Chains A and B, each alone.
Chain A
């Protein structure tokens, strides 16, 4: 057992005569609970086939952008026109962990690069649904969709451009 002591105000005087009248030492005992909850680590896995895909894009004489939302809706600005939309998808991830846990979502702060041989474009302004923070379901999962903006150069070279980007989730 581990006994330490505290005094009611640190004065040397003791109870003297009164203590000689006391019977056995006064003491009292009670109990308390101790509890801890081990939860599984949070995880994020990309859904198979659910990459961020801007589809067919036709460059022009001025720069432009193509935006794909987390709901996979595609629009363009500037000198870009939109081609075949069959392949357009938003990225999708399955987030897993403790039931009903909240978590933060961190998207890339800077641009990702997509390349086709020697040619490159950037993808930035990533958006997500949910955004900022998410909430796992009662069974500990949630789908996270991610969109972004493709920056297309003047007369961007033809090709199939690919690249990667990362998303981080953390309990909060």
Chain B
């Protein structure tokens, strides 16, 4: 029986109560004399959470990029494939797509989820900034009972023509909703 809210729990408690009452009525006559009234109460059921949870396992990292003297972009795909466009030249270091584990004990076959990603964010270093946009994702079903889905996120970094040297940081939110 799926448990989606407290209503199901109430049903369970009700179900248990009826069984006990029936047992009392059927007790042998001799035994009845020793009994007056027995009351049982079911202990409160565990507060089982069946809601969605999302946890970050990897951050988005564009690694090292050589400022090319003209604007360009760096794309990191959800599968962590790095692509340069424009006159940017290659830099070393390992890129990373962002990755999230989505769990949903109350979810099942056919459940539809929405993924909310930003349209764009800024990553900054002091007064300098760069735009990260074109957030996109791939979802991979890792386990069905219970639901575990891995959501990998990639994006595009826009590097300016004379982008100052240094490490730029920013944050972005991911929201998973059950549709």
Contacts and interface: CB of A to CB of B under 8 A. Distances in A.
Contacts of A27: 52, 175-178
Interface residues of B, number: 80
Q: Which of A11, A29, A102 has the most CB of B within 10 A?
A: A29
A6 B166 CA distance: 37
B149 interface: yes
B55 interface: yes
Q: Which of B110, B118, B172, B176 has the most CB of A within 10 A?
A: B110
Interface stretch (B22-30, B40-48, B62-70): B62-70
Q: Which of B55, B68, B139 has the most CB of A within 10 A?
A: B139
Contacts of B69: 41
A84 interface: no
A166 interface: no
B171 A32 contact: yes
B92 A13 contact: no
Interface stretch (B4-12, B13-21, B31-39): B4-12
Which range holds the interface residue count of chain A?
Answer: 35 or more
B59 A33 contact: yes
Interface of B: 2, 4-5, 7-8, 50-56, 58-69, 74, 89-93, 98, 100, 102, 104, 106-119, 121, 123, 130, 132, 135, 137, 139, 141, 144, 147, 149, 153, 155, 157, 159, 163-179
20 contacts: A6-B149, A8-B108, A8-B141, A14-B110, A15-B108, A32-B60, A32-B172, A34-B60, A34-B132, A35-B59, A35-B167, A36-B167, A37-B64, A37-B93, A38-B163, A38-B166, A39-B64, A41-B67, A98-B91, A171-B64
A34 B110 contact: no
Which are the 8 A-B pairs with shortest beta-carbon distances? Answer: A36-B62, A27-B177, A6-B139, A33-B59, A26-B178, A29-B175, A34-B60, A28-B54
Contacts of A37: 62-65, 91, 93, 166-168
A25 interface: yes
B61 A30 contact: no
A8 B52 contact: no
A130 to B, nearest CB: 16
A8 B67 contact: no
Contacts of B108: 8, 15
Contacts of B68: 41
